[in-house]
Amino acid sequence: MAPRIITLVRHGQAYHNVGSKCHLHDPYLTPLGEAQCHNLSKRFPSEPPVDLLVSSPLKRTIQTTLFGFKEQIESGVKMEFLAELQGSSGMPCDTGSSHDVLEKEESFQGLDFSGLPDDWTSKNGKWAPDPHSVAERARVVRKWLKSRSEGHVVAVLHGGFLHYVTEAWASRGNPLDAGWRNAEFRSFVFVDEDEDNASVIETDESKERRKGSEKPPGGTEMK
């Protein structure tokens, strides 16, 4: 049975978001980004409770998950990493770090990176940044999420890739209305009887929650 609801979260502000410094490799959150994540933990609804946390393995998304969902993690909610959630571009800011680098990070001690493929940082093959490959990777993500048995799954990922996962670029609406703010979260349910594409639609509650705060995609999202 598919999850009753999935909530997608964009990471907090990272150093490449300040002045479009996309040349920075796998940047950390800024102090403001950390504060955004701590605020996220206060704003995030307690119902329905989170049953699973899944994060992109880049540093800023890992930090966002650890800071934004500290209470859930401490209460025993499992945290997994999914390489397919990585950023959509081939720029250094969207390119992850190796297992060795992540495992040596003091603040990531105790996290399990063993499930990450050896080539996940290559930006080649299935990881390539061309639109077709990214769209297919997004479909794989949706099918993976739909295959989970947990009732409420929270995924933490990247602004550009969020548009592919939610298929906003292909929607009839204006994609420029679909920008995600740092540490913003939206909730979705799966479209009935859509097994191959596993499309999602945003819940009415989620739309109401963000009413009046819409923004166009930022520079890194557009790139």
Q: What is the CATH number of the domain that holds 49?
A: 3.40.50.1240
Tokens (6 digits) for 11: 């990471």
| Distance of alpha carbon 90 from alpha carbon 19, whole angstroms | 18
Does residue 209 or residue 123 have the better pLDDT? 123
* Beta bridge pairs of residue 185: 9
Check residue 157 and give its pLDDT.
98
Q: pLDDT (tens digit, 9 = 90+) per residue, 10-36?
A: 999 999 999 889 999 999 999 999 999
Residue 206 structural domain? 5-222
Tokens (6 digits) for 21: 């410094």
Nearest-Å Rg of the Cα atoms of the chain is 16
Please state the separation of Cα 102 from the chain's center in Å.
18
Check residue 215 and give its pLDDT.
61
Q: pLDDT (tens digit, 9 = 90+) per residue, 72-92?
A: 999 999 999 999 999 999 999
Check residue 179 and give its pLDDT.
84
110, pLDDT greater than 50: yes
Give the CA dihedral 153, 14, 213, 184, nearest 10 degrees. Answer: 10
Does residue 223 or residue 33 have the better pLDDT? 33
Q: Quote the number of domains for the chain.
A: 1
Q: Over range 139-146, report the average pLDDT.
A: 97
Q: Which of 79, 117, 124 is nearest to 99 (CA)?
A: 117
172, pLDDT greater than 50: no
3-state secondary structure the chain: CCCCEEEEEECCCEHHHCCCCCCCCCCCECHHHHHHHHHHHHHCCCCCCCCEEEECCCHHHHHHHHHHCHHHHHCCCEEEECHHHCCCCCCHHHCCCCHHHHHHCHHHCCCCCCCCCCCCCCCCHHHCCCHHHHHHHHHHHHHHHHHCCCCEEEEEECHHHHHHHCCHHHCCCCHHHCECCCCCEEEEEECCCCCCCCCEEECHHHHHHCCCCCECCCHHHHC
Check residue 192 and give its pLDDT.
78
Tokens (6 digits) for 81: 């990493």
146, pLDDT greater than 80: yes
Tokens (6 digits) for 65: 């998950």
201, pLDDT greater than 70: yes
Integer angstrom CA distances of residue 46 from 10, 28, 59, 174: 19, 27, 26, 32
Q: How confident is the model at residue 2 (pLDDT cuts 50, 70, 90)?
A: confident
